[in-house]
Structure 1
Amino acid sequence: MRVAIVTDSTAYLPDEAVLRYGIDVVPLSVVMGDEVLTEGSGASSAEVAQALQRRVQVTTSRPGPEAFAAVYRAAAAAGADAVVSLHLSAEFSGTYEAALLAAAGAPLPVRVVDTRMVAMALGYCVLTAAETASAGGTPDEVVAAAEKRAAETTGFFYVDTLEYLRRGGRIGPARALLGSALAVKPLLHLQDGRIQPLEKVRTSSRAIARLEEIAIQQAGTGEVDVTVHHLVAEERAQILAERLRERIPGLRELYVGEVGAVIGAHVGPGLLAVVVSPR
């Protein structure tokens, strides 16, 4: 059985991995002013960051069901027997719902998975699914492997301000931090598919140091993959990545990558995030 793997553009997978496994990536869109731009081809992270700083209205939109339907039809035409379609948390976007709608009319069986993750926390689930599929796994085995990886993966992040999350309506329980937002630098994490407050730290340098310690504690001594994400903060991301490389004994692969335009629109410039995913 050949199982095709589909995801969306918020997984921020390295290009090499997408090509190696033949993963189909359905893009979300960014709306800047009157322009609707496709993530990955029409809108860059830097452009979104600049627009936010100029206080241009920036919003995002999910793919329509037809975008997924076209990919599912193409998978069937290419000889796939089934599709496993893995997406960012339904708490953040209607992408999962659009994929479900498309799956109902697809010419082959499609399993749609809400990973409850985003960025490389989603990406690791997709990679595990692709590895399982390439080894001959059934759709059930592919989904089970991806869900197991999701359950073990954690994501922690620092933002310079909660303002962009507030504007985009994605702040969730972290809204409780807004009253003291000017006095603290918030550390947040992904939990149950939502953004949750983790800690309040007084300065950005202390926040980044604390992010490092949390990642090291989470990694423990077992084998892990780690991603450091950023938005127009490459130097800080590289420094943090080198620190983690030195201090995580079971580190297998370390990836440093900028988040794309869609997530960038909600977190704002200065984001620094760490995803820890046990093997």
Structure 2
Amino acid sequence: MIRQRKQRAAIRVPGKSPSVEKDARTWAKPGDPSMKISVVTDSASNLPRDLAEQSGITLVPMILKFGARALLDGEDMPPGEFYKALVEEKVAVSTSGPSAGDFKAAFERALADADGVVCVNVASFVSATYSTAVSAAKDFDGRVRVVDSRSASLGEGFVALEAARAGASGADLDTVVARAEAVRDQMCFAATINTFEFLRRSGRVNALLAYAGTALNIKPVFAFRGGKIEQLGRPRTRARAIDRLVEEVRDASARGPLHLGVAHADCEEEAEQMLARLKAEIPNVETLISPFTPLMGAHTGPGVLGVAFFS
């Protein structure tokens, strides 16, 4: 029997303890303190369960098919155990989003003690999850609004987190949606992968391209930004790939202190080192570190390292 282990995150605000804390700034407009808007998001957001629970966010698990097993993402297999099995077992892996029924059930639970719900989903250009949530929301007479994060991992997670913060301040449904969309429009999630092997296995790249990338030791760097995926570089060492990620964050910091979130697929030490470097070099409002759930790493394998940021 696999025992479930909770993912844990640390959000750090300068001058405060490293435990999970709210952002020091208030983003939402003053509202009716009796108003309650809840937030729902899918597990591709990579928000650790303890942070989601503390923020009042409902996580709807996506589905990971691992060989003959169908697993609820983030619930049925801890990330570390999954990546070990992914390397050793070499079985077919596929993913799918929650059903409309899954979203309806989550919306009903959230509305049991809320006036409205904002649902934040993984980018619509990489998954049908957003359209499924939109379909499910039609049954709730406008009390459920769905936001396309146009991102993934902590890029999506920060959009949900900021929506929850706005809702907690008493903001109404329109204001919470507006805050989520404002964060989405500023968001960048940049990442690098360590190997083409798992993309080849999943059919995301053909064998020839995977072989060429591996032979040349290419470590591609890409970003979810502005509703599309951008290629940021094709360095040939891991160190240069990480440098490129830091450079991207540094450029964005010219606009002011950043919210920073580092996500990783079974490379926690590198993630901690990169976060320490970012904190030392770049003014920040808060920092967050979280493992990729199995679903997010299923097609890329271990070694993915990414950073989400917005001002």
Q: TM exceeds 0.5? A: yes
| 1:86 is aligned to 2:125 | no
Q: How far apart are the structure 2 equivalents of 1:224 and 1:243?
A: 14
Is this contact kept in 1: 2:190–2:306, CA < 8 A?
A: yes
Is this contact kept in 1: 2:159–2:183, CA < 8 A?
A: yes
- What is the Cα deviation at residue 196 of structure 1? 2.8
**Structure 1 pair 221/90, CA: closer, same or farther in 2 (3 Å)?**
closer
RMSD over aligned CA atoms reads 2.2
| 1:62 is aligned to 2:94 | no
Please state which structure has a larger fraction of its residues in strand: 1
Q: How does 1:204-219 map to 2 (within 5 A)?
A: 204-219=238-253
Is this contact kept in 1: 2:124–2:130, CA < 8 A?
A: yes
Is this contact kept in 1: 2:39–2:57, CA < 8 A?
A: yes
Q: How far apart are the structure 2 equivalents of 1:216 and 1:178?
A: 31
- What is the Cα deviation at residue 88 of structure 1? 0.5
Q: Could you tell me which residue of structure 2 aligns to residue 273 of structure 1?
A: 306
Aligned residues: 273
Q: Could you tell me which residue of structure 1 aligns to residue 17 of structure 2?
A: none
Q: Could you tell me which residue of structure 2 aligns to residue 253 of structure 1?
A: 286
Show structure 1 runs of 4+ deviating over 4 A.
166-171, 177-180
Is this contact kept in 2: 1:51–1:58, CA < 8 A?
A: no
| 1:264 is aligned to 2:297 | yes
Q: Could you tell me which residue of structure 2 aligns to residue 174 of structure 1?
A: none
Q: Could you tell me which residue of structure 2 aligns to residue 116 of structure 1?
A: 150
Is this contact kept in 1: 2:187–2:225, CA < 8 A?
A: no
- What is the Cα deviation at residue 166 of structure 1? 5.1
- What is the Cα deviation at residue 68 of structure 1? 0.9
Is this contact kept in 2: 1:48–1:58, CA < 8 A?
A: no
- What is the Cα deviation at residue 169 of structure 1? 5.9
- What is the Cα deviation at residue 108 of structure 1? 6.0
Q: Could you tell me which residue of structure 2 aligns to residue 147 of structure 1?
A: 181
**Structure 1 pair 168/147, CA: closer, same or farther in 2 (3 Å)?**
farther
- What is the Cα deviation at residue 240 of structure 1? 1.0
Letter aligned with residue 115 of structure 1 = S
3-state SS, counterpart of residue 152 of structure 2: coil
Letter aligned with residue 102 of structure 1 = A
With structure 1 as the length reference, what TM-score do the two structures score? 0.90
Is this contact kept in 1: 2:185–2:226, CA < 8 A?
A: no
Deviating more after overlay: 66-75 vs 157-166: 157-166
| 1:9 is aligned to 2:43 | yes
- What is the Cα deviation at residue 123 of structure 1? 1.1
**Structure 1 pair 224/192, CA: closer, same or farther in 2 (3 Å)?**
closer
Q: How does 1:237-248 map to 2 (within 5 A)?
A: 237-248=271-282
Is this contact kept in 1: 2:100–2:135, CA < 8 A?
A: yes
3-state SS, counterpart of residue 201 of structure 1: coil
- What is the Cα deviation at residue 206 of structure 1? 1.8
Q: How far apart are the structure 1 equivalents of 2:36 and 2:288?
A: 29
Deviating more after overlay: 30-39 vs 154-163: 154-163
**Structure 1 pair 188/4, CA: closer, same or farther in 2 (3 Å)?**
same
Q: How far apart are the structure 2 equivalents of 1:266 and 1:227?
A: 21
- What is the Cα deviation at residue 269 of structure 1? 0.8
Q: How far apart are the structure 2 equivalents of 1:193 and 1:134?
A: 27
Task: List runs of 5+ in structure 2 lacking aligned partners.
Answer: 1-34
Q: Calculate percent identity across the aligned residue pairs.
A: 34
Please state which structure has a larger fraction of its residues in helix: 1
